[in-house]
Structure 1
Amino acid sequence: MTITKRMALTIFIGMLPALIIYIGFAMVPIAMSFYYSFFNWDGLSDMTFAGWDNYNSILKDDIFWKGVKNNLFMMVSGIVGQLPLGLFFALLLNRSLRGLKIYRSALFLPVIISAVIVSMIWNMVYSTESGLMNGILGLLHLDSWKQNWLGSERWGMLSVSITYLWQNYGFYMVIFLAGLQNIPEEIREASAMDGATGWRRFWHITLPMLKETIWVTLIFSISNSFRVFDLIYVMTAGGPAHNTEVMTIYMYTNAFNNMNFGLGSAVSILILLFSLIAIYAAKLATSRND
């Protein structure tokens, strides 16, 4: 099918409003952040040119690299936790069940709950004195296993990542469910006639048909893991001793608490850069398996 000049012009005009909005709300702020990252500026006084000093000070800061490590932990836990869990529930819901709409709504509910509310709920779960987690361990006579979950250097990031997983798996469930419902019924029937059932049908039919959907969810999972802020900020504010600090909290602290918007802008550019590198690495890893 060839696209004529008139069709191309029509498509361009149709996309133009969205393109203008995207440039105004995405590209322009990125360009402004990149510009501000070369200055020292507290938001009130005149800006002074700093060159690459902001980037140099960030890259020499151990707290920043701890944030990078924690972001990578969130990224990996999101990929190996949220995506399989979302696909699992999508497979369960992609069938005729009594009360299917209720199940879908219940599983998607954490996505629409405010991150602040989610953080407060899970703070109560992890509470040292009266939390659900330690309470269950007490009932099982496993008092030696009780922890200060969010205050532990060993368990802090894992506890936060479990909350992050619980809040967001429903988002990927919906995407996978849409992908499953777009698989033609004729392919399912043909595979059943050929004897492909259960795991064989999933591995040889369903999963290859979801290839593009999986790639979309992978991009979302990676980008969201580098943008996570409100959930961790309310739960731990990056503490204790920066053990749960991520790059967005590091950016917020420098930009708004320390009133150094140039340094904060530089961190935002580095977050974007790390996200693009992670997505490109995922693209290379998945393309090798094609």
Structure 2
Amino acid sequence: MHWVSTKKAKAVMLIPTLLVYIVFIIIPVLVAVYYSFTDYSGMGKAEFKGFDNYIRMFGDELFLIALRNTCIVLVCSLVFLLVGSFLTAMLMNRAFRGNAFFKMVVFAPYIIAPIIIGIIWGYIMNPQYGLINNILRNIGLDALAIEWIGGTKWSPLALAIVFTWQVMGFHATIFLSGIKTIPGDIYEACAMDGANVLQRLFYVTIPMLKETFIINIVLIITGVFKIYELVYQMTGGGPAHQSELLTSYMYFTVFSSRKYGYGMAIAVAILVLSITGSFAYIRITTKKKRRES
């Protein structure tokens, strides 16, 4: 079986994966980039328009609203998910009765289809007959029974909360894997030196999980830029597209308005923003790491 470890054999075995990646990832991206420079409407010939679609985005009020909402969801998701998944992972790392069941419950939402999650939370957060507002009204807190979804103010926050609930278990599992790699000898040495729980947390656990934090932040950024089903099922982008995110607005532009060229330009912008945000964070953190070393 020595031939398996040769460079030629490895290259041959990589060919099927590379072909699938090229056909289903690279080629569709290149096609989208091409159509983003045209006025293609799904029928007829695509006429080249240069950067007109990209210039148009800066004057498109609905695009700017979707961009603003996406930024709100991104910031809220980063805060909620980083703190929540890290604390959840710390709890999952402790030995207690029912730990396995707790892990299963935390991770379960991640394997549920997003469209189903949207249906569930749509009923929970509905302003008129939703579970949250009904409970608040029954206990006399009518002032807190706000318009969670379907309005112009709280919809991005509601989407961030649901997205956090959906992927919390996945990110907590990544944190848990990182925590498991920290040698127990370090904690024993800290205990012998008199370090308390908070000191061990801030001076040992968090610094040694820098790479894990980077992975989770990049995954959160890319995940937020892929949210569609939650918007479609919970708000439909309404009222009057005020709760759209970039992905849902792109879908509306392409399949409802049939502006394929402009929709592809939005899709390319989403891809660029996602890649730029991820690589910018990685670059900043790696620079800090080099300075510290």
Give, as a single letter, the amino acid of the residue that structure 1 aligns with 2:172.
M
Bigger shift: residues 128-137 or 190-199: 190-199
Q: How does 1:215-230 map to 2 (within 5 A)?
A: 215-230=214-229
The CA distance in 2 between the partners of 1:151 and 1:269, in whole Å, is 28
The answer for the alignment partner of 1:97 in structure 2 is: 96
> Would the aligned equivalents of 1:67 and 1:245 in 2 still touch at CA under 8 Å?
yes
Give, as a single letter, the amino acid of the residue that structure 1 aligns with 2:282.
K
> Is residue 2:183 matched to residue 1:205?
no
Q: CA deviation at 1:8?
A: 5.9
The CA distance in 2 between the partners of 1:246 and 1:82, in whole Å, is 19
Q: CA deviation at 1:15?
A: 4.7
> Would the aligned equivalents of 1:37 and 1:266 in 2 still touch at CA under 8 Å?
yes
Deviations 1:168-220 (A, max 9, x none): 11110111111111222232333333333411111111111111111000100
The CA distance in 2 between the partners of 1:239 and 1:71, in whole Å, is 15
Deviations 1:110-155 (A, max 9, x none): 1111111111111111122321111121122122332232122222
The CA distance in 2 between the partners of 1:9 and 1:216, in whole Å, is 32
Give, as a single letter, the amino acid of the residue that structure 1 aligns with 2:188.
E
Q: CA deviation at 1:66?
A: 1.0
Question: Which stretches of structure 1, 4 residues or more, deviate above 6 A after TM superposition?
Answer: none
The CA distance in 1 between the partners of 2:184 and 2:22, in whole Å, is 40
- Provide structure 2 residue ranges, at least 5 long, that are not aligned to the other structure: none
The answer for the alignment partner of 1:79 in structure 2 is: 78
The answer for the alignment partner of 2:161 in structure 1 is: 162
Q: CA 1:21–1:208 in structure 2 vs 1: closer, same or farther (change >3 Å)?
A: farther
RMSD of aligned residue pairs (Cα, Å):
2.0
Q: CA 1:10–1:205 in structure 2 vs 1: closer, same or farther (change >3 Å)?
A: farther
> Would the aligned equivalents of 1:157 and 1:243 in 2 still touch at CA under 8 Å?
no
The CA distance in 2 between the partners of 1:184 and 1:27, in whole Å, is 41
Residue identity (%): 34
Bigger shift: residues 239-248 or 99-108: 239-248
The answer for the alignment partner of 1:137 in structure 2 is: 136
Bigger shift: residues 27-36 or 142-151: 142-151
Give, as a single letter, the amino acid of the residue that structure 2 aligns with 1:125.
I
> Would the aligned equivalents of 1:90 and 1:177 in 2 still touch at CA under 8 Å?
yes
The answer for the alignment partner of 1:252 in structure 2 is: 251
> Would the aligned equivalents of 2:38 and 2:261 in 1 still touch at CA under 8 Å?
yes
Bigger shift: residues 136-145 or 93-102: 136-145
The CA distance in 2 between the partners of 1:170 and 1:13, in whole Å, is 37
Q: CA 1:15–1:78 in structure 2 vs 1: closer, same or farther (change >3 Å)?
A: farther
The answer for the alignment partner of 2:42 in structure 1 is: 43
Bigger shift: residues 259-268 or 81-90: 259-268
Give, as a single letter, the amino acid of the residue that structure 2 aligns with 1:193.
M
**SS of equivalent residue, structure 1 residue 49:** coil
The answer for the alignment partner of 1:60 in structure 2 is: 59
Give, as a single letter, the amino acid of the residue that structure 2 aligns with 1:209.
M
The answer for the alignment partner of 2:261 in structure 1 is: 262
Q: CA 1:216–1:10 in structure 2 vs 1: closer, same or farther (change >3 Å)?
A: farther
Q: CA deviation at 1:289?
A: 4.5
The answer for the alignment partner of 1:174 in structure 2 is: 173
The answer for the alignment partner of 1:3 in structure 2 is: none
> Would the aligned equivalents of 2:37 and 2:53 in 1 still touch at CA under 8 Å?
yes
The CA distance in 2 between the partners of 1:281 and 1:15, in whole Å, is 30
Give, as a single letter, the amino acid of the residue that structure 2 aligns with 1:48.
E
> Would the aligned equivalents of 2:62 and 2:242 in 1 still touch at CA under 8 Å?
no
Q: CA deviation at 1:7?
A: 6.5
The CA distance in 1 between the partners of 2:254 and 2:264, in whole Å, is 8
Bigger shift: residues 131-140 or 12-21: 12-21
Count of matched residue positions in the alignment of Structure 1 and Structure 2: 285
Tell me the TM-score normalised to structure 2 length.
0.90
- Provide structure 1 residue ranges, at least 5 long, that are not aligned to the other structure: 1-5
Bigger shift: residues 206-215 or 33-42: 33-42
The CA distance in 2 between the partners of 1:136 and 1:151, in whole Å, is 19
Q: CA deviation at 1:56?
A: 1.9
Q: CA 1:144–1:205 in structure 2 vs 1: closer, same or farther (change >3 Å)?
A: closer
Tell me the TM-score normalised to structure 1 length.
0.91
